[in-house]
């Protein structure tokens, strides 16, 4: 799979999608990169450390978060996307559930739409992505961010996530998105308990049946804190790197992370092991 403008080859070594939150309230770095200049400086740092692509988000999707207006989200992300598209030679992803935000970001130079609602929140999103020829990351979640962690239950979390993503792929195709431009994300922490997340990680390879590249985002999440006892999200480095490596070993094509340099170093070992075993 190739993501255009500039191209990104998905399916060889494990790729890194660097997180760039342009928000005041994200769970691990809210407010740190809200200023455009600070966001651009962080983007340069992530790319220098080895990020293959950058994921720019202007609305927190942490559990319990409230949505922001379209105008506010555009105010946060558009100057950043414009600046990065003019300067950096890596693909840019726009992390949004709003079609208008995606449209503006794609016009400004983004090439990927990362929609945590898998095209359900805004009925126009699929068409916007299709018209732009963008790649689309379809993520599984249950309910909006504000309530998704209110007692989530599954009979078989892996099977239900797989089926939900299969439905999302069909939804994308109906909207005109080429299947070859889709990626799937099981949505660790989005309407799932720590036990659900661990089951998904252990059985991540079962999602290969969908036939699309898998994106895994566990960086700094609450499950990492629960397992390691590290309370502060920004201090969950070792657990986050371990989770990224396990995800890669179990089939993830991309890992979405905050800490690029240590993850890149660890993944060099993982990718060598994968290559050695054929």
Structure tokens at 258: 């905050």
Predicted confidence at residue 26, as pLDDT, reads: 58
**Does some domain include residue 3?**
no
Q: In this predicted model, what pLDDT tens digit does every residue of 151-192 receive, in sequence order?
A: 778 999 999 999 999 999 999 999 999 999 999 999 999 999
At 24, list the tokens: 């005041």
Instruction: Give exposure, 170-196, as e/b (b: 16+ Cβ within 10 Å).
Output: ebbeebebeeebbbbbbbbbbbbbbeb
Give the global pTM.
0.93
Task: Single out the catalytic residue among 76, 98, 256, 264.
Answer: 256
Q: Which of 103, 221, 236, 264 is catalytic?
A: 221
* Residue 57: pLDDT over 70: yes
pLDDT of residue 208: 97
Query: Which tokens sit at 274?
Result: 């994968």
Report residue 81 as tokens.
């996307």
In a domain, 271, yes or no: no
Categorize the per-residue pLDDT at 204 as very low, low, confident or very high, splitting at 50, 70 and 90.
very high
Q: How far apart are CA 66 and CA 260, in angstroms?
A: 28
Whether 98 sits among the annotated catalytic residues: the reply is no
Alpha helix (H) residue ranges in the chain? 36-49, 70-87, 99-108, 125-132, 157-174, 194-202, 222-228, 237-249, 260-277
Residue 264 lies in a domain: no
Residue 7's pLDDT band, with cuts at 50, 70 and 90, is: low
Higher pLDDT, residue 138 or 12: 138
Q: For position 155, which CATH number holds?
A: 3.20.20.20
Domain count, the chain: 1
In whole angstroms, what is the distance from residue 142 CA to residue 203 CA?
A: 19
Residue 178 lies in a domain: yes
- Average pLDDT for residues 46-58, to the nearest whole number? 97
Q: Among 15-24, 58-67, 83-92, 151-160, whose mean pLDDT is lowest? A: 58-67
Tell me whether residue 122 is in a domain.
yes
25: pLDDT confidence band, cut at 50, 70 and 90?
A: low
Write the CB contacts of 160 (distance below 8 Å, at least 6 apart in sequence): 154
Question: Catalytic residue at 153?
Answer: no
Residue numbers of the domain that contains 58: 14-213
């Amino acid at each position: 799979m190739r993501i255009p403008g500039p191209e990104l080859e998905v399916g060889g070594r494990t790729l890194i999608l660097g997180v760039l939150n342009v928000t005041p309230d994200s769970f691990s770095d809210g407010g740190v990169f809200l200023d455009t200049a600070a966001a651009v400086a962080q983007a340069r740092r992530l790319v220098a450390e080895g990020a293959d692509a950058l994921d720019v988000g202007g609305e927190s999707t942490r559990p319990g978060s409230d949505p922001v207006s379209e105008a506010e989200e555009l105010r946060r992300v558009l100057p950043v996307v414009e600046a990065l598209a003019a300067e950096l030679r890596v693909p840019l992803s726009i992390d949004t559930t709003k079609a208008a935000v995606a449209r503006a970001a794609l016009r400004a130079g983004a090439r990927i739409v990362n929609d945590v609602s898998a095209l359900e929140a805004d009925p126009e999103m699929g068409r916007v992505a299709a018209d732009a020829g963008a790649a689309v990351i379809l993520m599984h979640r249950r309910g909006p961010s504000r309530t998704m962690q209110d007692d989530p239950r599954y009979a078989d979390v892996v099977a239900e996530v797989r089926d939900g993503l299969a439905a999302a792929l069909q939804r994308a195709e109906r909207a005109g998105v080429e299947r070859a431009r889709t990626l799937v994300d099981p949505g660790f922490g989005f309407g799932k308990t720590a036990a659900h997340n661990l089951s998904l990680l252990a059985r991540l390879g079962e999602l290969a049946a969908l036939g699309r590249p898998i994106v895994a985002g566990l960086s700094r999440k609450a499950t990492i804190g629960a397992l390691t006892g590290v309370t502060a999200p920004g201090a969950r480095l070792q657990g986050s790197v371990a989770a990224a490596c396990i995800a890669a070993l179990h089939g993830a094509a991309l890992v979405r992370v905050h800490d690029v340099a240590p993850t890149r170093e660890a993944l060099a070992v993982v990718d060598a092991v994968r290559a050695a075993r054929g």
